[in-house]
Amino acid sequence: MTFIPLGLRKELLSSITEMGFTQPTAIQSEVIPFMLKEKGDLVALSQTGTGKTAAFGLPLLQRVKSRNKFPQALVLCPTRELCKQIAKDINNFASALPELQTLALYGGADIRPQLDGIDRGAQIIVATPGRLVDLLRTRKLQLFSVERLVLDEADEMLNLGFEEDLNFILDEVPAEAQRLLFSATMPLRVRRMMETYMDAPHEISVGERNTLSELVEHQFMLVHAKDHYAGLRRFLDVTPEMYGIIFCRTKADTQLISDRLNHDGYVTAALHGDLLHEEREAVMQQFQTRQLQGVVATDVAARGLHIDDLTHVIHYRIPDEQNTYTHRSGRTGRAGKQGVSLVILHARERFKLDRIEKVLGKTFQQIPIPTGIEIARAQLHSYLPSFQTGNLKLDELAEKLARVSSSENVDAGTLRKLQKLVAFYQVTPELNTEPEKVKPRPKTAGRISGREAREMHVPRDMTEGMIELVMNLGKRNELDEAGLRGLIDVCGSSIELGRVNIVEMQSYFEVPYPRSHEVINHFKQNPAEWGGRSVSVAFAGNAKVVTGKGTKKRR
C-alpha cells in the first residue's frame, strides 16, 4: 500500500516521496484517514519508533488554513529534543507548502527568538509543557484559535511530572478543539486524563501495546559484579561497528562511564540533565554526524533522541521496569533496520531479567564475554582486512602485527591503536565466565551493623598531613578505585587521594586534612548516586591526622 489512497494532497505526497517514504506504517494507515475525515477525539496506542510524527503531522498540515497565521494546531511533547525533532519533521513534510509555518517552543534556550516567531505567526505550534505554560501565564501566547491538540508521548510527559502543566494547558485549549492522544502505554494517569478531557474518543491500537520490535535482537551478558565496566569494554572492542546508546541509571554514573570510556580510547559523550543547552546541542550534533561512537545517557536525557540507524542499545544497568526496557530498546531496530539490545548484568540481578522476559514473553539470548583473541581478530578484520589471523594466538598476532607497515592499507594511527589493543589483551586476564555464586549472609547473633563496623575501624598509620574518610560504598556496590577517584574529583579541583582501601561495604581513603570537610560537605550539599545508592562520606571511626608535630584527633 502507498500513501496515495490515504487522501493526502499532492504537495504532501511529493514531499514525503522526496524524503524516501513509499509505504505507510500501520499507525499511519489508520490515523491519517481518521484525522482527515473526522472531528472527534482520538487515542492512538503504538510503540516507539512506528512513525507517529508523520501519522499526525501530515493531516495537521493538510487541515490548517494557510491564510490564518494564528496557531491552529498544537503539539505537546515531553522534551526539547523531541520538540525540535517534531518541528523539523513537520517542516520537512511541508517543504512544498512554504506558506505553512511550524514553530518550536521549548525551555533551556533563549526565549527571544521564540517570541519573534510567535509575532511572525505560525499555524502549527510544537511545544514542551513548561515553556508553553510560561508563555500562557505571561499572555505572550493565546490558544483561542487552536482547533487540534496533539499529546505526543503522553505517558512520558506524566512520568516526567508534567501533569499539573498539562491540566493547565488543556483548560486553555478551546473545549471544541479536537484532542488527539498518542502513547506507547496506557497507565492509569493517562486513562484518567483521557476520561477528563476527551469526549468518547475513538481508539486505535497498532500491534500489542508496549511490545518489542521484531527487528531487535535481545541479548544479555552475565558478568561478575566487579566486572561490569570490563564487560562493557570487551563488548565494545569486539563490536567495532557499534553505533548506539549506553543507558545508565543516574547522571553521576553517566558522566563517570563516559569519562572512563574516553580515557580508554573510545569516542563517547555523556548525555544527562545537568548539561547546558549549548553543551547538549553539541553532543547531539556530534552523535548524529557520527563523530561519536556512542552516547552514555540517562533515560530522561535520551527522550527525543531519534536516529534511525543506531546499531545497538546497551543497558549498562538493567532497568527495574519492563516499560523502561521497552522504551530503551525501541531506540534501535528502526526504519526497517536490524538492531541489538544488550543487557549487562550479574547473577544477583538475573531475577530482574527473568521478570522482563516473562512480561514480554521473550527469551533473551545469552552471549559469552568476548575473549582477548576474539577481540583482536574482530578489530583486525574491521580495520586491516588483508591481515590473516588464522589460528594464531595473541602473542603470535602481536609479533606479526609488529611487522606490518603503515603503508599497507592502514594509517599509522590505526596501526598503533591495533598494536596497543593486542598488547593490552596479552596481559589482561580473561574474565571469569563461571556463574557468580551469591554468598549467603551469615546468620550469627554477633553480627555487627555497618555503622558499628565504621566506628570500630582502626585506621592504618596515616600519611603525614592526611586524614582517613569512609564512603558508604564498597565492592558489593561494584566500586573500584577508579570509580572512587571519579566521585571525589567532582568535589573540587586537584584533591589528592592517599592510600585507598575498598572493602565489602565501605571504602576508606586518605585526603589532605585541610580538604576533608570540603569533601564531606560536598556530598551533603550535592546529593549523588552510585548504582542507585545515595553516596555519603564521613570521617573514619577514630580518624586522626598526622602532622609534623605529632598526632591529633580530627575535630
CATH code, 43: 3.40.50.300
Residue 211's pLDDT band (boundaries 50, 70, 90)? low
Residue 434's pLDDT band (boundaries 50, 70, 90)? low
Q: What is the mean pLDDT of residues 126-134?
A: 94
User: For 508-530, how does the pLDDT look when each residue is reduced to its tens digit (9 = 90+)?
Assistant: 998 888 788 888 888 888 888 88
551 beta partners: 546
Q: Is residue 443 a part of any domain in this protein?
A: no
Give the domain-ending residue among 313, 339, 366: 366
Q: Is residue 238 a part of any domain in this protein?
A: yes
User: For 486-506, how does the pLDDT look when each residue is reduced to its tens digit (9 = 90+)?
Assistant: 888 877 666 888 888 998 889
Say whether both 392 and 522 belong to one domain.
Answer: no
Say whether both 135 and 154 belong to one domain.
Answer: yes
**φ/ψ of residue 466, rounded to 5:** -105, 160
Say whether both 22 and 129 belong to one domain.
Answer: yes
- Give residue 410's pLDDT: 73
CB 539 within 8 A of CB 523: no
Pairing of strands 507-512, 466-471: antiparallel
Task: Give me the domain span that covers residue 422.
Answer: 372-427
Say whether both 63 and 192 belong to one domain.
Answer: yes
DSSP 520-533: HHHHHHS--EETTE
- By the 10 Å C-beta count (0-12 exposed, 13-18 middle, 19+ buried), 210 is classed as buried
Say whether both 348 and 457 belong to one domain.
Answer: no
**Looking at the predicted structure, is the pLDDT value of residue 444 above 50?**
no
Q: The whole model's pTM is what?
A: 0.58
Say whether both 381 and 316 belong to one domain.
Answer: no
Residue 217's pLDDT band (boundaries 50, 70, 90)? very high
Number of domains in the chain: 4
Residue 533's pLDDT band (boundaries 50, 70, 90)? confident
Alpha-carbon span 397 to 380, nearest angstrom: 10
Q: Is residue 438 a part of any domain in this protein?
A: no
**Looking at the predicted structure, is the pLDDT value of residue 478 above 80?**
yes
Say whether both 97 and 135 belong to one domain.
Answer: yes
> How many other C-beta atoms lie within 10 A of the C-beta of residue 89?
18
